[in-house]
Amino acid sequence: MALTNNSTIIPPSRSGKPAAIKAVLFDLDDTLWPIEPVIARAEQLLFDWLRDHAPAVTRQFTIESLRQQRLDLVASNPVFKFDLWQLRHAALTSAFNSVGEDAGKVDAAMAVFSEARHAVTPFDDVEPALARLSRRLPLGTVSNGFADLDKIGLAQHFQVSIAAYSFGCGKPDPSIFHAACTALDVAPEQTVYVGDDPLLDVVGAQQAGLQAVWINRFERALPAGVSAQASCTSLHELEAWLEQTAIG
């Protein structure tokens, strides 16, 4: 399979030939499925539920103001930077308390959001590419989100899945990348991380000693000074790059 004109291969280092690839790690949101429409729908379904079960919240807040409340809350606790479930739970609890609603309903509200948050539709290339790749290399995931791959139906492709909220820190901290490499029994330099975020995924992985492939599904541009080992628009192109790259 040939790379398209949209794919860019960039030398992995100035020092010469990269280490043989022995494992591939993936980001989730906007790498394996589009996330913006999912979050928009989940927040709307949650707001509809609140209108029926906690109406005082919806009289005081809008979807947009609840979102701003979460952004403001991030600064109050460093945990909220990587534990997005706790952030949403804390923000809803604060909203409930501020209007005199029963905060005991927050868990039920979060269940509504979480169910909708997992109603993702993987990109068309994901299932077939992961099925092929998992027969050749150990695969894993490292994510700052709280998606459950069992619920989504992709868990069978991965030998390890690490989420920031349960690990205790998130990307770009090197330790979360290293934990996945250790779980797969591969060295960081023998591992490729595949993700859509230039700073969290590309720079973060490279600073942890991994090789990085940027998934550019939305015709974006890398910031100045950021260079991935490869830039691909799909997992099919990732497979093509792996075919052209030494695999241990």
Identify the DSSP state of 30: T
pLDDT tens digit sequence for 79-111: 998 899 999 999 999 999 999 999 999 999 999
Q: What is the mean pLDDT of residues 216-227?
A: 94
**CA Rg value for the chain:** 20
Identify the residue whose tokens are 């330790």.
Answer: 175
pLDDT at 11: 38
Mean pLDDT for 227-237 is: 96
Q: How far is CA 187 from CA 23, 151, 177, in A?
A: 9, 30, 11
| CA 53 to chain centroid | 31
Instruction: Please indicate whether residue 18 or residue 240 has the higher confidence score (pLDDT).
Output: 240
Q: Which of 9-13, 29-33, 140-144, 171-175 has the lowest mean pLDDT?
A: 9-13
In this model, does residue 2 exceed pLDDT 90? no
Is residue 84 a contact partner of residue 144, using CB atoms and an 8 Å limit? yes
pLDDT score recorded for residue 9: 36
Q: Is the pLDDT of residue 36 over 60?
A: yes
Read off the pTM. 0.89
Q: What is the 3-state secondary structure (H, E, C) of 173-237?
A: CHHHHHHHHHHHCCCHHHEEEEECCHHHHHHHHHHCCCEEEEECCCCCCCCCCCCCCEEECCHHH
Tell me what pLDDT residue 13 has.
40
Confidence of residue 245 (pLDDT cuts 50, 70, 90): confident
pLDDT in the model for residue 19: 78
Q: For residues 68-85, give the mean pLDDT.
A: 92
Neighbours of 144 (CB within 10 A): 23
Distance, in Å, from the CA atom of 65 to the CA atom of 137, rounded to the nearest integer, reads 45
**Tokens matching residue 105:** 């309903």
Q: Which domains does the chain have, with CATH numbers?
A: 8-33+122-244 (3.40.50.1000), 36-117 (1.20.120.1600)
Q: Which whole-number Å values give the CA distances from 92 to 41, 109, 177, in the listed order?
A: 17, 8, 31
